[in-house]
Chains A and B, each alone.
Chain A
Amino acid sequence: MALDPGDEIGPLKVTPDKYLTIRYAGASGDFNPIHVDDEFAKQVGLPGKILHGLYSMAQVARAQTDAGGGPEALRRLSVQFRGMGLPEHELTVTGTVREVDEGVAIIDASCEQDGKLIIRNAEARVRVS
């Protein structure tokens, strides 16, 4: 799939439903109570159960594999987690191709929710040829 410097990736938009964190906990094996138990999350000062960072990262990854044409295209992805994501609020993943070098596009990406970045400085390497 052709990707050129300056090309935009996404936006990929997804609104995790109220029970998503429970399904993701089961699928991933990460049952940290801050993700599955509202009461516990509030006790430790959070607004309620929060999204797994790796779920949000999976949305960033999905935007890359969609842009690259399949899972084999995604060679590398690094992210920094900031703040926290909440269920029932829309996530938006965007990205821009910074450069293409020897058939690999380097893409700067991020994921925001309610106008705040929850993943920043994401960098993907996506094979384009």
Chain B
Amino acid sequence: MAANTDAIGKTYAPTNYAVGREKVREYARAVGETKPLYLDVEAARAAGHDDVVAPPMFAVVYSFPSVMPVFFDPELGIDFSRLVHGGQEFEWGPLVVAGDEISTTLTVADISTRGRNSFFVFETTSTNERGETVCVGRWTNIVRGGS
């Protein structure tokens, strides 16, 4: 069944995420980062940052509160049990450090059907408390076709 494309262009209310020092450290450890910049406040300050630096892929953490509810938006009709993550793109601006307040807005960039699969592409734009764009994400989600 072809996916309903009516929701292309739909934008959701922004979500806010306060970047915590221990969260950055927890994330860095989980993905195997060992650089002191991510783990040690003194090392981060010595390098000119206000606090520990979030690894680039921490973008997942501050964007996810924006992404998760959209999977369950009835207007999109995504069958979560058939959902797979097909592709991901991030483009980064200034570094994010602990203490930053990140606001993320999500837009449904595209919905399409190829064969039995439906493709839902979300675009997230994350800005810090100074209004700088710290990350733009493009999330390609595939809903595998059923019988």
Task: Name which residue of chain B comes closest to A80, CB basis.
Answer: B87
Instruction: Point out the residues of chain A lying under 8 angstroms from B88, CB to CB.
Output: 53-54, 57, 78-79, 81
Interface residues of B in 30-53 (CB under 8 A from A): 30-33, 35, 37-38, 53
Best-buried of B29, B30, B85, B90 by chain A (most CB within 10 Å): B30
In this complex, the interface size class of chain B, counting residues with CB under 8 Å from chain A, is 20 to 34
Cα-based distance from A26 to B23 in the complex (angstroms):
10
Contact with B along A41-76 (1 / 0, CB 8 A): 000100000000111011101100100001110111
Cα-based distance from A59 to B33 in the complex (angstroms):
9
Task: Name which residue of chain B comes closest to A23, CB basis.
Answer: B30
- For the complex formed, measure the closest distance between the CB of B146 and the CB atoms of chain A, giving whole angstroms: 13
- Please choose the segment from B3-11, B54-62, B110-118 that sits at the chain A interface, where 4 or more of its residues have CB less than 8 A away: B54-62
Cα-based distance from A53 to B92 in the complex (angstroms):
19
Contact count A vs B, C-beta below 8 Å:
88
- For the complex formed, measure the closest distance between the CB of B32 and the CB atoms of chain A, giving whole angstroms: 5
- For the complex formed, measure the closest distance between the CB of A111 and the CB atoms of chain B, giving whole angstroms: 13
Best-buried of B33, B92, B138 by chain A (most CB within 10 Å): B92
Evaluate contact between A30 and B81: CB separation under 8 angstroms: no
- For the complex formed, measure the closest distance between the CB of B30 and the CB atoms of chain A, giving whole angstroms: 4
* Residues of B near any A CB (own CB < 8 A): 23, 26-27, 29-33, 35, 37-38, 53-57, 60-61, 64-65, 68, 81, 84-92, 95, 138
